[in-house]
Amino acid sequence: MSKSLSIKGLPILGQALGIVLSDDEALTPAEDCYQRLLRSGEHDEMELVDNYLKTNSMSALFDSVLIPVVAAAGTDRSLGFLDDGQLESVERDMSEIVDAVSPDYPAEAQGSFNVCCVPARAHRDQLAGEMLMRLLWNEGVSTQSAMARMPLGELVAWVRKANADVICISVVAPSTLIHARYLCTKFRAVLPALKIVVGLWGRQDLTPDHYAALRQSGANEIFTSLVDALAHLCPQTSEKIPVPPDQMIDGFPPSDSPAMPDGLP
């Protein structure tokens, strides 16, 4: 007999992703983690995380467990299965897990290569960017992560102040390619020499048209996993691309581009 997974009336990852499991089928680590997070007052998800890290890397934990949970929670909220308080609780717990398992300060920087992680839209995008930041810190790469929902002008000023060589636009469903393309277009217009990486974390449904659209909007590289982005952004595999002073444009040129897309949390 099959069942749709639920805990005390709340959906978990299997339901959010449309998965129906048999009674004797084991949960994936991501499903188990989401289930534990939704149990009121138990807070036993760190036991699962600790056990997972005994046989898996931190990058695997982020890619295969935490990002799917963050995406499922965002999707559940957009579908009305979770309320704002439940979503905030899951995201807060996710942030605490990231803090607990990864360095809270950079390792000694190797060179002067600077990365800025930019959330495409929401706090879930920021969380994934912070996961990438912690992985890069572990490799000695100078990295910062912006807060979600910063006004565009403040984001540009922040990237300039950080003297970024690369920005990574972080996207977790239900945030979309539209949000990533918008930011690519705007950053490419004002910082034409800046290297732009887009992280569509956990996406398995990308087509050549998706990649082409992002590149047309200004993206240099597109990744779907943190581990692949990490390999690309480490100092030994990345080349510093300076921004010439005469290309540091003040303000945005006139544009017919639409305002920041709305309609998604």
Phi, psi of 196 (to 5 degrees): -115, 120
What domains sit in the chain, N to C, each tagged with a CATH number?
Answer: 10-101 (1.10.1240), 114-247 (3.40.50.280)
Which tens digit of pLDDT belongs to each residue from 129-174?
A: 999 999 999 888 889 999 999 999 999 999 999 999 999 999 999 9
Read off the pLDDT of each residue in 76-86 and give the average, rounded to a whole number: 94
Residue whose entry in the numeric block shows the structure tokens 């295969």: 64
Read off the pLDDT of each residue in 231-255 and give the average, rounded to a whole number: 46
Question: Taking the model in full, what pTM does it have?
Answer: 0.80
For residue 113, what pLDDT is reported?
81
Q: Evaluate if residue 247 carries a pLDDT over 90.
A: no
Q: What's the DSSP call for residue 194?
A: S
The fraction of the chain above a pLDDT of 70, given in percent, is 75
Q: Evaluate if residue 110 carries a pLDDT over 70.
A: no
* Spatial distance between the Cα atoms of 76 and 64, rounded to a whole number of angstroms: 18
Sequence-ordered list of residues with C-beta below 8 angstroms from that of 256, at least 6 positions apart, any chain: none
Which tens digit of pLDDT belongs to each residue from 185-198?
A: 999 999 999 999 99
Question: CB 156: neighbour CB atoms within 10 A?
Answer: 21
CB 162 within 8 A of CB 112: no
Which tens digit of pLDDT belongs to each residue from 17-72?
A: 444 444 557 889 999 999 999 886 666 788 999 999 999 999 999 999 999 999 99
For residue 39, what pLDDT is reported?
80
